[in-house]
Amino acid sequence: MRMGVCRSLTTCKLSDTISPAFAESHRAVKAGAINELVEKGGRGSCKSSYISLEIILLILKNPLIHACVFRKYGNTLRTTVYTQIVWAIAQLGLTRKFRCTVSPMECVYIPTGQKIMFFGLDDPGKVKSIKVPFGYIGIDWFEELDQFDGPEQIRNVEQSTLRGGPFSFTFKSFNPPAMSRNWANRYVLMKKPGQMVHHSTYLTTPVEWLGPRFIADAEHLKATNFTGYRHEYLGEVVGSGTQVFENLQLRAITDAELGQFDRITNGVDWGWYPDPWAWNRMHYDAARRTLYLFDELTRNRTSNTDTAALVKSRIPAGELLIADSAEEKSVSDYKSYGLNCRASEKGPGSVNYSMKWLQSLAAVVIDPDRCPDTAKEFTEYEYERDEKTGEVLQGYPDAANHHIDAVRYGTNKIWKRRGQ
């Protein structure tokens, strides 16, 4: 990629080096407003280039810290993240200030001795034995996040490396896998304090940095395989063609929107263990054919008395609650506890009809912060395939669908009026 190369850091104009798409990310890092930045996106978005530049800038700003750069496999380091860091050093006009070697694989800032070290997690012993000559490790970068084993592996590395000093920062970057159930795709939905998640595409990269061949290849795929284009170049989670719900919108539902909701209902799917009890609160906008899911509860081994108390603390008195009719005693219990609880009306084919109704809506909007379990269920719910032929099987899987069932019950009166 062609970018402006700085002759020295003092004369460097960062806007010529950092893609404008990352201006907000850079401001947040520079201001110390966050301690974790997750950069996701498609090909040509320059996310790895941006992170490599940011690591150099943080090293210069904090003279006691060192950095670790991780990929899943050690044999991929030299041609990927190591080369990327060397590139960033050159872009900032600092080649004479750094000494980079491949054995050991590291880049040392000569004036202070600070190190940027590279490791593959296929050899976990190396991570446990990392030593620095002074100061402490203050930066971790996990490149191709989705390739690692999962959040526990990442957390273990962070706990082993980011300790011993007042400053710590984690970069995580990846091209989102097609499947929504991949742990990295789920991870970015589970927000945590101090974290920023940013998505970028090649469309925000200056064209002259990419070159005509890159643009031509992207346009060709767009014309011949639009789903592939969305995944590879736009970084979208497009699935494998087996998702049950293709009308999902995962986004924040604002307090202003909540104040306009006037058709609110609640649904309960009974459970104990291992299947949980699940409750959802929702609003249906008939004019827009849009269902909004904005509250949830999930519990194991919790009595009807306790779950009823939980629900009563979340809804106004008298608000309708529709529950699975399979447990008449539980429905009666809820009524005796003062809840306006009714049993769902079932009939032959009611599961199929209610599921098809949910699929037919213009949108099912889920707030992933307010309803993380619900968002996980809906995004990961897929048709099953025949193990031998690979063909998609008919019918809806009866597994990991407790909040989906709660939503079906909660909307029972709505879809029943539409023909079932």
Catalytic residues: 144
**Residue 249, phi then psi, degrees to nearest 5:** -130, 110
Determine the distance from the C-alpha atom of residue 60 to the mean position of all C-alpha atoms in its chain, rounded to a whole number.
30
| Strands in 89-211 per DSSP E | 98-102, 105-109, 114-120, 136-143, 169-174, 195-200
User: Checking DSSP bridges between strand 114-120 and strand 105-109, what pairing results, if any?
Assistant: antiparallel
Using the Cα atoms of residue 223, residue 228, residue 233 and residue 238 in order, give the sign of their dihedral. positive
Q: Sheet of 341-343: strands edge to edge?
A: 248-250, 363-366, 290-299, 277-285, 264-269, 321-323, 341-343
Question: Residue 208: is it exposed, middle or buried by C-beta count within 10 angstroms (0-12/13-18/19+)?
Answer: exposed
Q: Are 248 and 364 in contact (CB under 8 A)?
A: yes
Q: Which of 382, 385, 401, 399 is nearest to 242 (CA)?
A: 382
Determine the distance from the C-alpha atom of residue 295 to the mean position of all C-alpha atoms in its chain, rounded to a whole number.
19
Alpha helices in 8-150 (DSSP H): 23-31, 47-61, 83-91, 124-128
Q: Left if phi > 0, otherwise alpha if psi is -120 to 50, otherwise beta: which for 344?
A: beta
Determine the distance from the C-alpha atom of residue 379 to the mean position of all C-alpha atoms in its chain, rounded to a whole number.
11
Q: Dump the DSSP string for 38-58.
A: EEEE-TTS-HHHHHHHHHHHH
